[in-house]
Chain A
C-alpha cells in the first residue's frame, strides 16, 4: 500500500461522519434522478398499454382491398400484422337484431387485442364465439356448449340470403366493440367459421414501431384502386395521438438533474468550509498544494464512486422490487407497467457522474484559493464591512441574519419548491379538466354531433332504444328544427329584427331569405324532463301545447361593428347595449312549417339568458323558440337532435358502454369513459408526483442538515453565549426556528415566484416564439392559468407554508444546542 492511498484511508476514517453525509446526498440524488426517469418511462409505457388494451393497436386499415393489394401489404417490410375482419351479415334472434356475424383471422385477433374469456375460437362450421355483452343481450347464459338459433341476413346487394341455423357456443369473447368507434367499419360481435367469400372485409395493419413513419408509403399502395378507403387509427373510440418523447419531459428531467448537480455543489462547498481550518493547518505545517489537492480529490472521488455504486445498486434493487411486486401480485400492465429504458438509465448515470466530476474539479479549484488565503483577517474585514452596513437593524433581526445559510442552499430549495409548485399546478390542471367535463357534460353520454351537416336525425325510435338500454337512467332530448320564417303578430319590431337578422346571417346566410321582411326564429324542442333544470335556474315552467318561450338576449355592438349577444351579462358595460324589442309575453307568433302550413305559438316567457343549459350553440342565437318537443313533430321536420344520457351509477359502466355502442352511428360521445380515463390519469399523476416529492424532500432535508452541521459550531457558540447571558432555552429554540423559517420561506417564495413566472411566460406564448411550443401544448398551461382560481393557489401555498413550518421546526430541533 503506497503512501497516498494510506493517507486517503486515514483521512477517510477521520472524515467518516462528514463523508457519510456527502455519500448519502450523492446517493440520494442519483437515486432521485434514476427513479424519476424510470417512473416517467413506466408511466408512458402504462398509458401505451392501456391504449392498446382498450383500442387495440392498428395504424391503418383498408376496406375491401383486392387480392393483389393484400399481397403487397402483407409483404411490406413495415407491416407487423395484417389481419382481416369480415362481416357476413346481421344476426337476428326471434326477429330482433343481435349483432354482426362475421369472421376474424389470427392476426386480427392480435391487432384488435381480442381475448377469449372462456372456450375457443370457432374452428368448425356451426360453432360460434360471441362477445359477452351480446350474449347477455340475447338473454342467454354464459354456459359454453349451449345451442343458439340465429338467422343471418347476409349483406350482399345482389342476393338477399337469409341463413337460418343452430350453432354451438364454443367461446365467449371479451367485450371489445364498445371501445371502437366503428363509424364506417363493421365490427363483428358473433364470430363464426366461414369459408365462402365475404363482401365486406376490412383489412387492418399494425406496423413495427420503428417503421411507423412509413404509414404514408403504405397508404399510397391503395392509390391504384380509388374505391378503397384507408382509415387511420383516429377512428378508434377516443382519438389517440402518437405520443412522442415530449420536450417538456426532457425539461423536467434536466431540471431535476440540474438540481442534483447544484445540490452536489452546495454539499461540496459546505464540506470545503468544514475543512478550511484543517487545510490551513496542513498548509502551515508544510503540505504541498498538489499533495493536498491529490488527497482531497482522491477522497471525494472515492465518495463519488461509492455513491454511484450504492445508488445504482439501490436503484436496481428498488426496480427489481417493483418488478417483483408487479409480477408477483399479477398487477396488470394497464395498471402499472414497469419499464426500464436502459438508454436513459445509462445516460442519467453518466450525466450524473459527469456533473459530479465537474463539481469536484471546481471545488478543487476553490481549494487552492483557500490555501492561498493563509490570512483570514482579510476576509474577516470584508464580512465586518457587510455587517456594519446592516447596523441599523435591530438585534433580533441581526441574530436571525447572522444565522443565514448559504444563498445557494436557498436556491436549491427554491428550485425544488418551484418544481413542487408546477407539479401541483399540473395536478390541479387535471382536476380542472375533470371539473369542466362534469360542468359541461354532467351527463354520461351524448348523441349528436353539434352543428354539423349533414343533419343527423335521431328519431323517436332510436331515442326509445337509447332510453331502454341497460344502465340508462334518464335522457334529455333537444331537437333543432332549423331556421323558420316567423311573423310577430302584435308588433312590427323592425329595428331589433334587422339586428337579429344580422347576427343570424353571420352563420346561416344561405338559409335566410334576406329579401323577406319576415323574422327568423330557430325552432327548438326540449323534452319535458329537461324543463326541470330551466325551472330551477331561470324560474320558468314548461310551456304547454301551443306555447313557446322566446329567447331575446341583450345585443351589444362592439367597436368593429360586430353584434354580440350578451348572454351572461359579461360584456363591457360601456358598449352600446340594445334591448329595445317590443315583444311581450302573450304575443302571438306564427311560424312557417315544412309543408307550408303555419303554426301559432303564444309567448309564455321571454328569457334573456340561457346560462349553460343549451347543448347546442344554435340555441344561443336570439329568437329561439323553445317548445315541448311533442308539439313540433307534426309541422316541423327534425333537423338535428341532441340527446344527453344520464346513466345509473349502480349499473356496470362497461355494460352500458356496450349497450349504447349500438347507437354509435348517431355520433356518440362517451363522457363516462373520458372521465374514467381522466381519473386514472390523475391518480397516476398524483402517485408519481408524490414519490418524486418524497425523495426531493429527503434530499432537501439532507442538504439543510448538512448546512447546519457546517454552520453548527458558530450557531452553537452564539447559542451558548446567549444562554450564558440568560436567554431561556425555549426562546433560543424559537430563534433557531425563526431563522430556519425565514430562510425556507425565502426559498419558497423564490420558488413559487419563478414557477409563476414560468407559467406566465408560457401564457404569453413565449415558448412558442422560442420554438419550444411542445412545452406549452403538452401541459396546456395557458389553459391552466385561465382556469385555476386563486383559492386553489392559496390552498397550495398554505400547504407549502405548513410544510415549511414543520420543516423549520425539525431543523431548529436539530441545530438547537448549547455547550453546558
Chain B
C-alpha cells in the first residue's frame, strides 16, 4: 500500500497566454518508510511537485493521497491541520523566524498545534543534530549548516512520519551537505521516517536507495540504487 500516491498531476502557472506548465501529468507512489531523492534540472518542476504534495500550492488537476487521505479534497483549514500533523518541511532558505531563538523556532509547530512539545524527543534530536548548546541562540548567530539543522530539528521533533525537503543542502558546502545527508539517513533509519528530498547534488543523491528524475514536468526515470550503481 503506497504511503504517498500522486496521480495525473498537472500544474500550470499564469493565465492562458503566457502559461508555464510546471507539471505535465506526474504520477508516482512512495511506500511507507522509503527514502526518495528527486533530481532534475532547474525549472523542471521539483519544487512545484513538492509543494503540491505537501499541500502548499494548489494543483491544476490530479490527486494526491497521503496515507489514504486525498489532501486536495479537504477544505483549506482541514488541509492545514493535516499538514501540521503529518508533514514536516525543510526548505533551501531554512525558513526560520529571525526573532525567535532556536528553541522557540523548534517549539513553534507544537505551539501552533496547541500541545506540549515532546521534551525527550527534543533533547535527543538536538543531541543527534549537535545543537545541544545552541538552543538559546538566534538564527543570525548560527552558520548556514547549523540553521538548516535547526530546520530539520523543527520538522523531526514535531512530525515523525513524512519529511519533505527542498534542496536542504543548496546553500551549503559539501562537508555540511554531507552532514545533513547523514542526519537524513539516521532519521530514516532511527525514526523510520518517509523522506522525499530534492537535490542537485548527485553525490548525495547516490546515497539514497531510490532516485526519481524529473524533466519538463514529467517523471523521467525511477531508479533504485543498485540500478544506478
Contact = CB atoms under 8 A, between A and B. Distances in A.
Given A384-B140, A728-B77, A728-B81, A721 B95 contact: yes
Given A395-B107, A724-B56, A729-B76, A384 B141 contact: yes
B56 A395 contact: no
Interface string B57-87: 1100000000000000000110011011100
B101 A391 contact: yes
B102 to A, nearest CB: 12
B38 to A, nearest CB: 19
B131 to A, nearest CB: 17
Question: Mostly helix, strand, loop or mixed at chain A's interface?
Answer: helix
A725 B56 contact: no
Interface in A728-744: 728-731
A726 B101 contact: no
Interface string A387-401: 110010001101000
B20 interface: no
Contact of B112 (A384, A391, A725, A729): A725
Contacts of B83: 726
B97 interface: yes
Given A384-B138, A387-B138, A727 B95 contact: no
Interface residues of A, number: 23
Contact of B80 (A380, A721, A728): A728
A726 B77 contact: no
B113 interface: yes
Contacts of B97: 402, 718, 721
A728 B84 CA distance: 10
B216 interface: no
Contacts of B56: 724, 820
Given A726-B80, A729-B76, A398 B85 contact: no
A429 to B, nearest CB: 46
Given A387-B99, A387-B138, A402-B99, A722 B112 contact: yes
Contacts of B57: 820
Contacts of B80: 723, 726-729
Nearest to A731: B112
Interface in B80-119: 80-81, 83-85, 89, 91, 95-97, 99-101, 104, 107-109, 111-113
Contact of B104 (A398, A722, A727): A398
A247 B107 CA distance: 58
B108 A398 contact: no
Contacts of A391: 101, 136
Nearest to B159: A726
A380 B140 contact: yes
Contacts of A718: 97
B141 A722 contact: no
Interface string B126-156: 0000000000101011000000000000100
Contacts of B108: 395, 722, 725
Nearest to B141: A384
Nearest to B112: A727
Contacts of B84: 725-727
Contacts of A820: 56-58
Interface in A683-740: 718, 720-731
19 contacts: A380-B140, A384-B140, A388-B101, A391-B101, A395-B111, A402-B97, A402-B99, A722-B112, A724-B89, A724-B91, A725-B84, A725-B108, A725-B112, A726-B81, A728-B77, A729-B76, A729-B77, A820-B57, A820-B58
